[in-house]
Structure 1
């Protein structure tokens, strides 16, 4: 049962969204424009709120990326879509600038954070839509592992030094985000059919952290994964810097977990997951020399329309846009899957990475996890196996409905997809 506060948040947020849409309609009828997103103004707004500066704002590459994200938002949101601009503004403030400022503040207060070891992290990658959410959720049940959570990615620490190690603050943070996510799923961000349930305490993707540096989430809302990644791929030097900053975030979380819960940062291993790690395996190995990389493989004829459907769902529920047809979405997703699959062919097999077939994971998820655990040095105990079984029982396939899609919906041909990626399909038996 949702809490009273969760229901109240839902009502208030609903009223606010209806107001925004009403004002946006009036704006459209009058032909006026209420506000334009401006990256420099948003940075100034956040710095004034906390009375400090965001040091990364002095990096011209990072600032140009933020300016590009806001300018695209202004272009893509037609004049009357006040709701769309408000969503983007709140995302940039709350998911990029505020957590970045809080992380920088933590490191400034505790420079020894940068000495915290990030030992043998496990990265789950691939094209996406390949069972990675299931595998990630299962692997996070093993002992001595840590995973990212929605609430800590958005609000890593309190800014007030007096409460930074107050466990009550962290419990309230989780409770508050539970209410926010309940309201979001009820009103505008129900992606459970396309992706996975949102929770303040369950394992979350790395996308929320990487977005602070590479702006993938704003770009993803402009049409698809290839558009989102193209900015990063054209800036390899900054991509390396971004992953070093990503490592700093992991060190912050470990440092505060040790202070709050007394966990051992030496024996704790991260289990991380995001398809957008895929093009940066070389960068990951530079920043995390002892990292374990798991690549998942699924028939691209299934991946492409599934990913396209997810992007379309994201656009519909959270980011109203113009000029974004199913065909354009399909073309962009096809570029992404083509790039990922061909990279995996170039990387080859038996290269120190672990390869997992989607079909094998679906047929025997516990067996696959046991094999991975044995390979990477995690203990597969009877207690862990019980947790895996319980998770699978609570989360059966199609729990939120059947996700239906086809290549033809997105202007694609299954024969052409398989023909174009025949080498990949043969090499990885998908």
Structure 2
């Protein structure tokens, strides 16, 4: 029975969005001993893939074709957030059937849904579904589940209840850079669905969302201990990505094999910085200022020792 199959010590990478989670998960997923949730699986998961189907086959090809078509219409997305058909993708796409997913707010400004999602939703059933989904996906494939979703700080207690032995990693970056970058991403996604996108609303909404995320992960640490989550700085990931991933392995007592390291170097060689263009964005475009953001998130910046850039 699939639902009797265990999911042992899954590793979750999260943090405010645009903080290096994508690079981290791609490096971790390069390890042949690990299993990640692939982009094409978020659209066409049944039947569960066999090992030879994870990175080839008709479902992979269909997603690859969809990706190419999407980039023809929105080429700027590639520089903002690029995923191959078989790239590791985010748990939020796995959670959409439960409606507890940031996907919907990314697509549109829906105040009623936002209020429910952030303040009233029961996240536990969503994570029970999350586990069933993974149990189904792993039917024919092995490997330690290694997952990513920037929004997991919103629902860490539910995650921990369903996955009590989960390994948790949080990335940190200057919130001013985070807000400018996420503003650009959300603006471009919402413009797919609407001709009337309020940029200042995006800025205000995500300041509030990030405050809630930080408060909730702080509360989780207060209950489970500061070291319940392993912290990684975006600046360090950019300077030494494989070294920072090795630190994750060391922290959790996992073997960092020569095979894993070689695969990570191969990924970095194949994906140099700027491969898909440079992401240009402006914090002020969303009604925010670097000084104001640093003031709002000052406690968070100080508590986690986050390097920040001052206004010029």
TM-score when normalising by structure 1: 0.65
Q: What is residue 310 of structure 2 aligned with on the other side?
A: none
1:280 deviation in Å? 0.7
What is the aligned counterpart of 1:387 among 263, 267, 282? 263
Question: What is the CA–CA distance in structure 2 between the aligned matches of 1:120 and 1:189, rounded to whole Å?
Answer: 38
Residues 154, 332 of structure 1: alpha-carbon distance in 2 compared, 3 angstrom cutoff: same
Q: What is residue 137 of structure 2 aligned with on the other side?
A: 253
2:5 maps to 1:119: no
Question: What is the CA–CA distance in structure 2 between the aligned matches of 1:166 and 1:145, rounded to whole Å?
Answer: 12
1:210 deviation in Å? 0.8
Contact 2:14 2:152 (8 Å CA) reproduced? yes
Question: What is the CA–CA distance in structure 2 between the aligned matches of 1:295 and 1:281, rounded to whole Å?
Answer: 12
Q: What is residue 36 of structure 1 aligned with on the other side?
A: none
Residues 383, 168 of structure 1: alpha-carbon distance in 2 compared, 3 angstrom cutoff: closer
Residues 164, 329 of structure 1: alpha-carbon distance in 2 compared, 3 angstrom cutoff: closer
Residues 211, 232 of structure 1: alpha-carbon distance in 2 compared, 3 angstrom cutoff: same
Q: Tell me, what secondary structure is at the counterpart of 2:295?
A: helix
2:155 maps to 1:271: no
2:89 maps to 1:210: no
TM-score when normalising by structure 2: 0.88
Contact 2:181 2:281 (8 Å CA) reproduced? yes
Question: What is the CA–CA distance in structure 1 between the aligned matches of 2:53 and 2:30, rounded to whole Å?
Answer: 25
2:204 maps to 1:331: yes
1:137 deviation in Å? 0.4
Contact 1:125 1:273 (8 Å CA) reproduced? yes
What is the aligned counterpart of 2:156 among 254, 269, 281? 281
Contact 1:305 1:410 (8 Å CA) reproduced? yes
Task: Give the count of matched residue pairs.
Answer: 301
Deviations 1:181-207 (A, max 9, x none): 2222223475211112x3221211112
Q: What is residue 147 of structure 1 aligned with on the other side?
A: 36
What is the aligned counterpart of 2:24 among 117, 135, 144? 135
Contact 1:216 1:228 (8 Å CA) reproduced? no
1:221 deviation in Å? 0.8
Q: What is residue 254 of structure 2 aligned with on the other side?
A: 378
Contact 1:140 1:146 (8 Å CA) reproduced? yes
Q: Tell me, what secondary structure is at the counterpart of 2:277?
A: coil
Residues 190, 155 of structure 1: alpha-carbon distance in 2 compared, 3 angstrom cutoff: farther
1:330 deviation in Å? 1.0
Question: What is the CA–CA distance in structure 2 between the aligned matches of 1:175 and 1:246, rounded to whole Å?
Answer: 25
Question: Hey, which of these two has a bigger chunk of helix by percent?
Answer: 1
Question: What is the CA–CA distance in structure 2 between the aligned matches of 1:407 and 1:126, rounded to whole Å?
Answer: 19
Q: What is residue 185 of structure 1 aligned with on the other side?
A: 71
Question: What is the CA–CA distance in structure 2 between the aligned matches of 1:151 and 1:143, rounded to whole Å?
Answer: 19
Q: Tell me, what secondary structure is at the counterpart of 1:296?
A: strand
> In the TM superposition, what are the counterparts of 1:209-228 in structure 2 within 5 Å?
209-214=94-99, 215-223=101-109
Contact 1:219 1:227 (8 Å CA) reproduced? no
> In the TM superposition, what are the counterparts of 1:7-406 in structure 2 within 5 Å?
112-158=1-47, 171-188=57-74, 191-196=77-82, 198-214=83-99, 215-223=101-109, 230-237=115-122, 239-255=123-139, 257-258=140-141, 263=142, 268-316=143-191, 318-322=192-196, 324-346=197-219, 347=221, 350-406=226-282
Gaps of 5+ in 2: 307-312
Question: What is the CA–CA distance in structure 2 between the aligned matches of 1:199 and 1:165, rounded to whole Å?
Answer: 19
Residues 182, 245 of structure 1: alpha-carbon distance in 2 compared, 3 angstrom cutoff: same
Contact 2:156 2:217 (8 Å CA) reproduced? no
Question: What is the CA–CA distance in structure 1 between the aligned matches of 2:51 and 2:29, rounded to whole Å?
Answer: 25
1:236 deviation in Å? 4.2
1:128 deviation in Å? 0.7
Question: What is the CA–CA distance in structure 2 between the aligned matches of 1:419 and 1:190, rounded to whole Å?
Answer: 31
Contact 1:223 1:311 (8 Å CA) reproduced? no
Contact 1:344 1:424 (8 Å CA) reproduced? no
Question: What is the CA–CA distance in structure 2 between the aligned matches of 1:308 and 1:279, rounded to whole Å?
Answer: 19
Q: Tell me, what secondary structure is at the counterpart of 1:176?
A: helix
Identify the structure with bigger relative contact order (alpha carbons < 8 Å, sequence gap 6+).
Answer: 2
1:376 deviation in Å? 2.3
Alpha-carbon RMSD across the aligned residues, in angstroms, is 2.5
2:288 maps to 1:415: no
